[in-house]
Amino acid sequence: MNIPSAGPRRHYLNAGYGVRSWLLTTDHKRIAWLYLLSITFFFVIGGAFATLMRIELLTPQGDLVQAETYNRLFTMHGVTMIFFFLIPSIPAVLGNFLVPLMIGARDLAFPRLNLASWYVFILGGAFTLIAAAAGGVDTGWTFYTPYSSRYSNSQVVLTVVGIFITGFSSILTGLNFLVTIHKMRAPGMTWFRLPLFIWSHYATSIIFILGTPVIAITLVLVGLERIFSLGIFDPARGGDPLLFQHLFWFYSHPAVYIMILPAMGVVSEVIACFARKRIFGYSFVAFASLAIAVLGFLVWAHHMFVSGQSVYASMVFSLLSFFVAIPSAIKVFNWTATLYKGSIAFDAPMLYALGFIGLFTIGGLTGLFLATLGIDVHVHDTYFVIAHFHYIMVGGAVMGYLGGIHFWWPKMTGRTYPEGWAKLAALIVFVGFNLTFFPQFILGYLGMPRRYHAYPPEFQVLNVMSTAGASVLALGYLIPIIYLTWSLRYGRIAGTNPWMAKGLEWETHSQPHSANFDAQPIVREEAYAYSGEERGDLQPLGKPVDV
């Protein structure tokens, strides 16, 4: 690919300086950066809450902070990490940057709506920060009634308003992705030539659209109940607290698939590139993404097995929860099979991707324990659940995010990061993560409940181990923040395609110019055409292609 060398090239980062050119941008690539900075900010805040929590939990007594404070810490940790870091992370940063590039478009379908989605995100975040500054909220991120709607003396209304507003950011992003993927693919980019990253963002967008409005209305009703002393969810006034739980989890369960599907998309891209092979079972992986999105809407009441709901309801939801595990398992097997007879390199993105597969597998398998009714009665609302979801969301989603950031960093910034430090950080994250969260499985089965500010002394040793691990994990996160920032100025200049990867994003400049491509791309290859498969080259499943 010829890169003209007359003078400094105009690209999306130097096409206009100044605050206005950033705050009024409609370029999806700049909006991705706006999101990147914002969610990193929230990640640090959520991490600070977690740090205080883990330090408190070093001793059985509640001696670092008061109970009221601790309750606000774990609530704000959950709210910040889920709504203001995990849910936007990959879609709003990597998705925004890459979706148009990967399908050969000049931008998303609705660039101004894209910018609006960021402002909405910031507005929602502002409300939540104000709520935190005004004392925070202490209901748990799950806001169960009637505690949240009547008994809690904390900033419930401000917080739910913040989350409500931010929900629209998700909806607008999902809407944009769906329309873009449907209508703006380059000539030749058929559905089954799409990168799996696009499939997973498509599936995620379905959940954004169908799920987010339900949490929106649920939080509105809780807010109204609190302000006007209504009885919609309050049994003392004729309401049903389980109705709240059903409405809440109807969104909040699919929300976890919002958090993992994009990371799975990243993993597909990275594995294909660093094994230099087409993903094994491409169409199965693509359909598995859709299956996860659909089935994910059918399992919400597995959070309610001991809530007092009927035994029959619990059995139905338990069975469905096992169903939803299968497509994820299919993906893990297909990723592993991709390595077979590949040519495998171990750059940092690949380390993150392989780490993802390991940790997601453990997290996913422990989900089966929770789906199993007889076991869930024992481990529900204990540290077993906390360990399970952190394996998926931190061991899975965050590692997917970091892997993606490293993989596309050269494309986004035109610079490479220091590979040695990156590998070291990936390793530290992996080790620190397991040290932090594996002991929590043991703690949970022992019976340590979650959201406990103080605990019986026999749980201390495991808690100390967990906190020690957390300090290692924190170090692992700090290192990339430092060298990635450093690389913006001092990193080696990257070429167009430092990884020799396949994909339309790699066929345009690093630091693409504002309209992405010099000329309209026309797609003549299958996805991941690492062996140069042209149209029609792929044999039916099972037969390797002779190239």
Partner 1 sequence: MSDSRLVHAHQFDDAEQQRDAASLGMWIFLATEVMFFGGMFLGYTIYRSMYAEAFAAASNRIDLIPGVINTTILILSSFTMASAVYHAALGRGRALQISLLLTIVLGAAFLGIKLYEYHEKFEELLVPGALFSFPAPFSAAAEIFFSFYFAMTGMHAVHMIIGFGLLAKLLFDARRGRYSAGYYTPVELVGLYWHFVDIVWIFLFPLLYLLGRHL
Partner 2 sequence: MWENLPLFPQQASTLAPRVDALYFFLILVSVFFAGLIFVLIFYFAVKYRRRSDADQPRAIEGSIPLEIVWTVVPFALTLVMFGWGAWLFAEIHTPPRDALEINVVGKQWMWKIQHPNGQQEINELHVPVGQAVKLLMTSEDVIHDFFVPAFRVKSDVLPGRYTQIWFHATKPGEYRFFCSQYCGTQHSGMIGRVIVMEIPDFQNWLSGGAAGVSTAQLGEKLFESLGCVSCHRPGGAVQAPSLAGLVGKPVKLEGGKTITADESYIRESILDPRAKIVAGYQPVMPSYKGSISEDGIMQIIAYLKTFNPQEGEARRP
Q: How far is the CB of 263 from partner 1 (least distance, A)?
A: 24
Please list every residue from 260 through 289 that binds partner 2, using CB under 8 A. 275-278, 280-284
Q: Which of 237, 450, 451, 492 binds partner 1 (CB under 8 A)?
A: 237
Q: Which does 264 bind (CB under 5 to 8 A by kind): partner 2, partner 1, none?
A: none
Q: Is 214 in the site for partner 1 (CB under 8 A)?
A: yes
Q: Rounded to the nearest 10 degrees, how much is the dihedral formed by the CA atoms of 396, 401, 403, 407?
A: 150
Distance, in Å, from the CA atom of 352 to the CA atom of 275, rounded to the nearest integer, reads 14
Q: Is 209 in the site for partner 1 (CB under 8 A)?
A: yes
Please list every residue from 128 through 187 that binds partner 1, using CB under 8 A. 171, 174-176, 178-180, 182-184
**What's the Cα-to-Cα distance from 357 to each of 164, 257, 260, 322, 335, rounded to whole Å?**
33, 16, 12, 19, 8
281, 337 Cβ separation under 8 angstroms: yes
Q: Which does 357 bind (CB under 5 to 8 A by kind): partner 1, partner 2, none?
A: partner 2
Q: How far is the CB of 216 from partner 1 (least distance, A)?
A: 6
Distance, in Å, from the CA atom of 159 to the CA atom of 164, rounded to the nearest integer, reads 9
Q: Which of 136, 146, 162, 211 binds partner 1 (CB under 8 A)?
A: 211
Distance, in Å, from the CA atom of 62 to the CA atom of 530, rounded to the nearest integer, reads 57
Q: Which of 322, 421, 438, 486 binds partner 2 (CB under 8 A)?
A: 322
Q: Which does 347 bind (CB under 5 to 8 A by kind): partner 1, partner 2, none?
A: none
Q: Which of 27, 107, 138, 225 binds partner 2 (CB under 8 A)?
A: 138
Q: Tokens 């590949």: give the residue.
A: 342
Q: Is 232 in the site for partner 1 (CB under 8 A)?
A: yes
Q: Is 4 in the site for partner 2 (CB under 8 A)?
A: no
Distance, in Å, from the CA atom of 351 to the CA atom of 172, rounded to the nearest integer, reads 33
Q: Which does 111 bind (CB under 5 to 8 A by kind): partner 2, partner 1, none?
A: partner 1
Q: Is 524 in the site for partner 1 (CB under 8 A)?
A: no
Q: Which of 38, 71, 114, 467 binds partner 2 (CB under 8 A)?
A: 71
Q: Which candidate, 398, 370, 77, 388, places its Cα nearest to that of 260?
A: 398
Q: Is 10 in the site for partner 1 (CB under 8 A)?
A: no
Which CB atom, from 218 or from 268, has the smaller least distance to partner 1?
A: 218
Q: Is 225 in the site for partner 2 (CB under 8 A)?
A: no
Q: Which stretch binds partner 2 (CB under 8 A): 82-90, 113-121, 185-193, 326-334?
A: 326-334
DSSP letter for 293, please: H
Distance, in Å, from the CA atom of 346 to the CA atom of 241, rounded to the nearest integer, reads 51
Residues sharing a CB contact under 8 Å with residue 424, sequence separation 6 or more, in sequence order: 479
Please list every residue from 60 through 119 that binds partner 1, using CB under 8 A. 100, 105-111
Q: Which does 317 bind (CB under 5 to 8 A by kind): partner 2, partner 1, none?
A: none
Q: Is 534 in the site for partner 2 (CB under 8 A)?
A: no
Which CB atom, from 212 or from 416, has the smaller least distance to partner 1?
A: 212
Distance, in Å, from the CA atom of 390 to the CA atom of 87, rounded to the nearest integer, reads 14
Q: How far is the CB of 62 from partner 2 (least distance, A)?
A: 7
Q: Is 344 in the site for partner 1 (CB under 8 A)?
A: no
Q: Is 239 in the site for partner 1 (CB under 8 A)?
A: yes
Please list every residue from 420 through 459 that binds partner 2, using CB under 8 A. 442, 445-447, 449-456, 458
| 536 φ, ψ (degrees, to nearest 5) | 85, -5
Q: Is 247 in the site for partner 1 (CB under 8 A)?
A: yes
Q: Is 191 in the site for partner 2 (CB under 8 A)?
A: no
Please list every residue from 457 through 476 that binds partner 2, using CB under 8 A. 458, 460-462
DSSP state string for 429-491? HHHHHHHHHHHHHHHHHHTPBSS-SS--GGGHHHHHHHHHHHHHHHHHHHHHHHHHHHHHHHS
396, 360 Cβ separation under 8 angstroms: yes
Residues sharing a CB contact under 8 Å with residue 147, sequence separation 6 or more, in sequence order: 139
Q: How far is the CB of 511 from partner 2 (least distance, A)?
A: 24
User: 3-state SS string over 484-523?
Assistant: HHHHHHHCCECCCCCCCCCCHHHHCCCCCCCCCCCCCCCC
Q: Is 218 in the site for partner 1 (CB under 8 A)?
A: yes
350, 344 Cβ separation under 8 angstroms: yes
Residues within the interface to partner 1 (CB under 8 A): 100, 105-111, 171, 174-176, 178-180, 182-184, 209-214, 216-218, 220-221, 224-225, 228-232, 237-240, 243, 247, 515
